[in-house]
Amino acid sequence: MRLDKFLANAGVGTRSEVKNLIKLGVVLVNNEVIQDSGFDVNPERDEVLVDESPIVYQEYVYLMLNKPKGYVSAREDRKDPTAFSLIQGYEHRDLHLVGRLDKDTTGLLIFTDNGQLTHHLTSPKHDVGKIYHVTLDQPMDKKLIPVFKAGFSLGEKEMVKAAEVHLLPNDHQVALTIYEGKFHQVKRMFAKFGYQVTNLHREAVGELTLGSLKEGEFRELTATEVAKLKSL
């Protein structure tokens, strides 16, 4: 990897800023001053210092956000604030969303710059479970649980896969696990049977859960959590 790319990806500065640092002679690779921006660096083997401070390189970044209501799942939007605006300090990374949540839906969003993992988690070929806490305008009829478990048609030859439903202590709430991500899927599934979703919250993707992460906050995933995502 080029030295300037290594430093830029590590958050030292923009590509032009790190080129200037290299020219100034404040960048050392294995205790040798390097002033060539194209110098080849091995992130796993070489020690890189800038102004005597060691630079820690991450090949990929994995973040989770507890998205509040009112934020759209986009990088930019002319009308509404975006989920990306809540992620600070990672502007130097080419992050993208793993899946989306509607503007009025809260809960777990994953950000990464690992395109291969994103494709794996969002591909219809992989049954990655997503758990939602759903609040309805009326209690759900228990007779519908096996209907959801079998899968059904949303109309016009559009089928939804089998889903798991568990009634919660509040009789207007259910926990729903789905294994796909069609447009407004959860709301449309309940609307099919005359229910209106009044609140929707995604609590988990696979074994990854929000835990104690507060609404509007984000954090990096642990190595164990990343490994679990990759194993889905």
39-59 b/e (C-beta count within 10 Å ≥ 16 → b): bebeeeebebebeeeebeeee
Among the listed residues 4, 51, 80, 102, the single catalytic one is 102
CA dihedral 74, 80, 86, 89 (to 10 degrees): 70
The rounded distance, in Å, linking the Cα atoms of 139 and 199 is: 14
Q: Which two structure tokens, joined as six digits, stand for 138?
A: 């009326």
**Do residues 83 and 95 lie in contact, with contact meaning Cβ atoms separated by under 8 Å?**
no
| Beta bridge pairs of residue 48 | 29
Which residue matches tokens 């001053």? 33
3-state helix, strand, coil in the chain (%, to 5): 25, 30, 45
Distances (CA, A) of 115 to 122, 123, 204: 11, 12, 20
Q: Is 102 a catalytic residue?
A: yes
In 3D, which of 201, 223, 63, 75 has the Cα closest to residue 130? 201
Q: What H or E segment, with its residue span, contains residue 65? A: strand 62-67
Residues with catalytic annotation?
102
